[in-house]
């Protein structure tokens, strides 16, 4: 069996579940990973025979993909903001819209950082650590900390910090009831859980059945409970004039803006992602 023939099988078998375009992208991701080749090597070697071990690996991965397991969990890694991050079922798979949030923070901080004395950043609900690690990679002099309630997620985040050669201070804590001894920060970032029960019914089965519910859903179906808690935390631990950057539920843009305004934030800016959905907020203390 050749690389080209396995690609054909993947596309045929996965098109029903993912559509032809995504099936093609998944096929290529798996081929690159299993055969350890880049696109040019693929184009030059697609008629090469696969080893028996490679064929077995392809069939195992294909069988799990057909059950809806996300390809990133099967490969154990994903790309985010130009870096590779380990992922497993304890962490949310980093999303492209979160790259847009990181980009916003970085663009602002590159301008502001010279004015700040000992600039620091805290990421709340860090999951795989994709937000603070990506920021620290581009701003090595920024002091970066991350908070997470899941010990298993924190282990993944620590591994990712090592993999990406970044020094991050990780703390296990619950933002709904924080107990650690927290300092103040110049910037706070967060992509907290924001999916409601009503939205759960419209979710794709491979998200619902495979990604951690702790990362997705709000407890007691209060969609703003985490934003309320983060605003409370920020009122004590964000420097005066400091900024908060939040990823938000696209259906709750105005409600989240009003909440932050009631909590005393100013210069609140609601921003749309590349698909024109209300997705991010920046606000100043």
Ligand X SMILES: C[S@@+](CC[C@H](N)C(=O)[O-])C[C@H]1O[C@@H](n2cnc3c(N)ncnc32)[C@H](O)[C@@H]1O
Binding site for ligand X (CB under 6 A): 92, 94, 98, 125-128, 130-131, 147-150, 153, 174-176, 191-193, 214-215
In terms of CB distance, is 3 or 168 closer to ligand X? 168
In terms of CB distance, is 46 or 277 closer to ligand X? 277
Three-state SS at 157? helix
Q: How far is the CB of 153 from ligand X (least distance, A)?
A: 5
Asked whether 70 and 94 are in contact (CB, 8 A), the reply is: no
Q: How far is the CB of 135 from ligand X (least distance, A)?
A: 12
C-alpha distances in Å from residue 73, one per residue of 22, 68, 79, 252:
16, 11, 12, 29
Q: Maximum distance among all alpha carbons in the chain? A: 64
CA 218 to chain centre: 17
In terms of CB distance, is 191 or 206 closer to ligand X? 191
In terms of CB distance, is 132 or 242 closer to ligand X? 132
φ, ψ dihedrals at 260, nearest 5°: -65, -35
Q: How far is the CB of 98 from ligand X (least distance, A)?
A: 4
In terms of CB distance, is 26 or 149 closer to ligand X? 149
Burial 50-81 (b: 16+ CB within 10 A, else e): beeebeebbeebbeebeeebbbbbbbebbebb
Q: How far is the CB of 21 from ligand X (least distance, A)?
A: 24
Q: How far is the CB of 191 from ligand X (least distance, A)?
A: 4
């Amino acid at each position: 069996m050749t690389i080209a023939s396995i690609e054909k099988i993947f596309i045929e078998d996965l098109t029903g579940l993912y559509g032809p375009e995504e099936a093609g992208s998944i096929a290529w991701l798996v081929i690159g990973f299993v055969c350890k080749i880049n696109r040019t090597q693929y184009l030059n070697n697609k008629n090469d025979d696969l080893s028996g071990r490679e064929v077995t690996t392809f069939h195992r991965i294909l069988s799990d993909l057909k059950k809806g397991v996300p390809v990133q969990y099967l490969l154990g890694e994903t790309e985010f903001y130009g870096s590779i991050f380990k992922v497993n079922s304890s962490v949310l798979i980093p999303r492209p819209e979160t790259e847009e949030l990181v980009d916003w923070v970085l663009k602002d901080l590159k301008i502001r950082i010279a004015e700040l004395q000992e600039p620091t950043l805290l990421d709340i609900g860090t999951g795989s650590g994709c937000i603070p690690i990506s920021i620290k990679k581009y701003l090595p002099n920024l002091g970066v900390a991350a908070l997470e309630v899941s010990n298993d997620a924190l282990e993944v985040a620590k591994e990712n910090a090592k993999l990406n050669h970044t020094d991050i201070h990780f703390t296990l804590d619950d933002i709904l009831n924080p107990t650690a001894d927290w300092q103040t920060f110049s910037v706070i970032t967060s992509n907290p859980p924001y999916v409601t029960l009503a939205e759960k019914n419209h979710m794709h089965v491979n998200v619902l059945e495979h990604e951690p519910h702790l990362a997705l859903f709000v407890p007691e179906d209060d969609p703003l409970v985490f934003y309320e808690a983060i605003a409370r935390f920020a009122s004590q631990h964000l420097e005066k004039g400091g900024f908060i950057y939040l990823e938000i539920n696209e259906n709750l843009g105005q409600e989240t803006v009003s909440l932050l305004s009631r909590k005393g934030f100013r210069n609140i800016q609601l921003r749309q992602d590349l698909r024109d959905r209300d997705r991010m907020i920046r606000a100043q203390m």
